[in-house]
A and B are shown apart, each in its own frame.
Chain A
Amino acid sequence: MKLITKYNQVNVITTIIIMLITGVIYYQAVSLILTYQKDKDLVVEEQEIYEYVNLNNKLPQTFQSNDQQIIFLEAAPGSVKRRFIDTVYFKKREKDSLHKNDHDHNKHPAHKHHGWYEAGRGLITFVTVGDKYYKILIIESKVETEDLIRIIFSITIGVILLLLIVLLLTNRLILNRLWKPFYKTMGELRLFNIADPRDISKSETEIDEFKELNNAVFYMTAKAKHDYKDLKSFTENASHELLTPIAVINSKLDTLIQTENFSDRQSKLLNDLYTAVSRLNRLNQSLLLLVKIENKLLSDQQIIKLGILLEETIIQFEEIFLDKELKLTYSISDKDIYASRYLIEILISNLIGNAIRHNYKGGEVIINLTAESLTIQNTDGDTALTDKIFTRFYKSSGSEGSGLGLTISKQICENVGFSLSYLYKDSYHTFVVKFKG
């Protein structure tokens, strides 16, 4: 969830809650004030009736104005308690007939009459005329009051809504602009490549928090790069220092076998030593090569006829194909690439070498070169390999390789701008080098 979404969510929810609460309070307050006003009107009306009764000693003519009804009802003395009620007011459509509103406000026999009910405020009171006791019901329509409340309320709500929308929009605009440096830094981080000598650029910002973030990112990446460089030069130096002892062991072994008279056991031991030293050497060379590729130290770029190079490599491995009784099928079309010959030779020799090494006697190798890609397929076990094959020192069980071959191949492809991928298809382990574009 984006920060702005979260922020807006919280913002909108709290605003709506507060709006609802204030709306209710506001409504109640306005409605209380206006009801109080109505009540005062009703009391004035009551006073008028009392005055009339006092003066004339009879009930006034019941009459009905546009928004007021007065009803007199005989009642048992003392049975009426003076009180204000919320009731309904029957508004007639036409003024032709006088109609008394039903005193019982719970019943609305609207179907009998033409007109409609409105909210009303009533005062139930009593008056004694002579010896007769009357219940008085004064009802006033509250429709204007309600209208007023409604108008005030909707204007208020409208203003609040407008405010909210404007706030959201400006928030979005401002926040988007405010967060720009953040997203720029994020972009830089996403593109960050530890092997890239270029430093991360600090984006300009006036916001302290982002400045801090930028500084932190800058120092972190600089440190990461520095550490990586240290580690790399350590690898390089270590591998380099190993070369001399390996050279000495190698030469001593070569010298040792010149001395005569070895038993079978001794020669077996010597053979094992040779194999181990040559593995150690290859491993070391691979590490050095990796460092070199990563440092982009190999720049003998030239146009390479890939088809010819492939054929040469195949001829080079001829005896090994024969030895393992591998069936080789290949289709090679012309393809020129511009790259370091040294690296491409290693790439091809690695991939074909893998196809031979990870294969069973009498298996199959298929090489296919088109203008778009180079595909090398081989038979082996019938389970697909994991993605880990491209990581350093990952080896399938029983592999005698250095565990660096595919890492190097991948690095070479990245260096040249190709892509190297693996897939398992129709019981063939397939490596695909896709050329640029």
Chain B
Amino acid sequence: MKILVIEDEEGLRESIEEYFTEDGNICETAANYNNAMVKINLYRYDCILLDITLPGGNGINILKSIKENNYPDGVLIISAKNSLDDRLEGLNLGADDYLVKPFHLSELKARVMAIIRRKSFNGSNQLIFNEITIDLLAKEVKAGKSTVKLTRKEYALLLYFIANKGKVVSKNAIAEHLWGDGIDMANNFDFIYSHIKNIRKKLMEAGCSDYIQAAYGMGYKFTDL
């Protein structure tokens, strides 16, 4: 897949680029408005990560330009503005998602993967990873032929892991993904451990390989063995 990161903050841009660049993925970057405009008019991307506040112009205009030209690229707005109006404006103009800074890279990746999935599968709502088949509409998970009964959160977690396969996902990122901001009430993330244990058990009982590994006590990694 091909991704364009339009972000003026160098540190953030580099991190995103590094996180997204892997086998078969191309990640390009643009640090300012003009540069971004040139790129979106020259190349097509599976997903464009768009910062709103850019040197040289407003990111909203880039979004408008993409939509006016009927480019099929998915657009994910990454913005420091967390107001409902900004969010609605972005989504109304045709952005696929809106992510507020700061975010975990794994969260970003999961969102991007969701957008690309929606765009590229074209109605086929199946996500296949080795022997695991996920029906995204029915929210059903199958391992080979047998159905794996997952709770809502376990299902979300599995999708999250698959989107970030091969990456260490921190416990913080998992907690925030599943429980949102309310998570600060738990002083430790021990309950994540039992959660992961459950999902692993369920998958393995259905005949899957053990894809989820603990990583240095900081998080977990979903690896294709």
**Which residues in A have some Cβ–Cβ distance to B below 8 Å?**
240, 243-244, 246-255, 257-258, 262, 264, 266-268, 270-271, 274-275, 278-279, 281-282, 285, 288, 292, 297-298, 300, 313, 316-317, 319-320, 322-324, 342, 346, 349, 352-354, 356-357, 400-402
* Interface flag for B180 (CB, 8 Å): yes
Note all chain B residues with C-beta closer than 8 A to A264. Answer: 216-217
A323 in contact with B191 (CB, 8 Å): yes
Note all chain A residues with C-beta closer than 8 A to B16. Answer: 251
Chain A CB count within 10 A is highest, among B15, B106, B179, for B15
Q: Which 10 A-B pairs have the closest CB atoms?
A: A247-B102, A251-B15, A323-B191, A248-B11, A267-B216, A254-B105, A353-B185, A357-B185, A247-B101, A243-B80
Chain A CB count within 10 A is highest, among B180, B187, B216, for B216
Stretch at the interface among B133-141, B169-177, B199-207: B169-177
- How close is A137's CB to chain B, nearest CB, in angstroms? 110
A292 in contact with B104 (CB, 8 Å): no
B84 in contact with A300 (CB, 8 Å): yes
Identify which of B80, B180, B190, B217 contacts A323 (C-beta below 8 A): B190
Complex: A323 Cα to B194 Cα, angstroms: 9
B216 in contact with A262 (CB, 8 Å): yes
Tally A-B pairs: CB < 8 A.
133
* Contact of A250 with B103 at beta-carbon distance under 8 Å, contacts A240-B80, A274-B218 already known: yes
* Interface flag for B168 (CB, 8 Å): yes
Complex: A257 Cα to B172 Cα, angstroms: 12
Note all chain A residues with C-beta closer than 8 A to B184. Answer: 278-279, 282, 353, 357, 400-402
- How close is A82's CB to chain B, nearest CB, in angstroms? 112
Chain B CB count within 10 A is highest, among A249, A251, A252, A270, for A251
Note all chain B residues with C-beta closer than 8 A to A319. Answer: 153, 179, 191, 195
Note all chain B residues with C-beta closer than 8 A to A342. Answer: 84
B102 in contact with A274 (CB, 8 Å): no
- How close is A21's CB to chain B, nearest CB, in angstroms? 77
Identify which of B9, B170, B182, B217 contacts A353 (C-beta below 8 A): B182
- How close is A343's CB to chain B, nearest CB, in angstroms? 10
B80 in contact with A400 (CB, 8 Å): no
B172 in contact with A270 (CB, 8 Å): no
A251-B12, A346-B181, A349-B180 given; name 4 further pairs at CB < 8 Å: A254-B106, A257-B170, A324-B186, A349-B181
B15 in contact with A275 (CB, 8 Å): no
Complex: A253 Cα to B171 Cα, angstroms: 12
B191 in contact with A257 (CB, 8 Å): no
B187 in contact with A320 (CB, 8 Å): no
Q: For residue A244, which residue of chain B has the nearest CB?
A: B9
Task: Write out, one digit per residue, whether chain B residues 74-108 have a CB within 8 A of any chain A CB (1) or not (0).
Answer: 00000010111000000000000000011111100
A316 in contact with B180 (CB, 8 Å): yes
* Interface flag for B68 (CB, 8 Å): no
Q: For residue A282, which residue of chain B has the nearest CB?
A: B184
- How close is B53's CB to chain A, nearest CB, in angstroms? 10
